[in-house]
């Protein structure tokens, strides 16, 4: 299933355990790769979907930014950026969860710092 088919009407159709759950894209905090699965983390919990992270990369709205080879973050949900060792950054999200911005994705730091424009 491609991302263009997954993102419809501003929501994700996530197939898990024989059910399809619809999650508004704006509620997604980050996507995390886990082998051939993607963990979709929201403020209310997480969903495990059989797909690769590269499937989700294309077709996502521009406020989703890849900050690590295994993490795509919703920059609207970023609360804090803190430098860590070796050029990495710790990204704290609105829910309090923390993910790492890797050195190889450091150019994305400027994108995370840009003001977020409302889609309306």
- CATH code of the domain made up of 3-113: 2.40.50.1020
DSSP assignments along 55-71, one per residue: HHHTTS-TTEEEEETTE
CA distance 114 to 6: 27
pLDDT tens for each residue of 22-81: 889 889 999 999 988 899 999 888 988 888 888 877 778 888 999 999 999 999 999 999
| pTM higher than 0.75 | yes
> Is residue 78 classed as helix, strand or coil in its secondary structure?
strand
Q: How wide is the angle at C-alpha 53 spanned by C-alphas 70 and 91, nearest 5°?
A: 40
pLDDT at 2 over 90: no
pLDDT at 120 over 60: no
CA distance 113 to 67: 13
């Amino acid at each position: 299933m491609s991302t263009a088919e997954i993102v419809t009407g501003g929501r994700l159709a996530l197939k898990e355990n024989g059910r399809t759950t619809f999650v508004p894209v704006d509620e997604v905090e980050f996507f995390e790769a886990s082998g051939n699965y993607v963990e979709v983390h929201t403020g209310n919990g997480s969903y495990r979907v059989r797909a690769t992270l590269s499937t989700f990369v294309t077709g996502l709205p521009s406020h989703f930014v890849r900050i690590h080879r295994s993490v795509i973050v919703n920059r609207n949900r970023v609360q804090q950026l803190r430098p860590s060792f070796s050029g990495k950054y710790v990204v704290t999200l609105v829910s309090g969860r923390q993910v790492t911005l890797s050195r190889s994705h450091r150019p994305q730091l400027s994108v995370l710092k840009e003001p977020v424009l409302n889609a309306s």
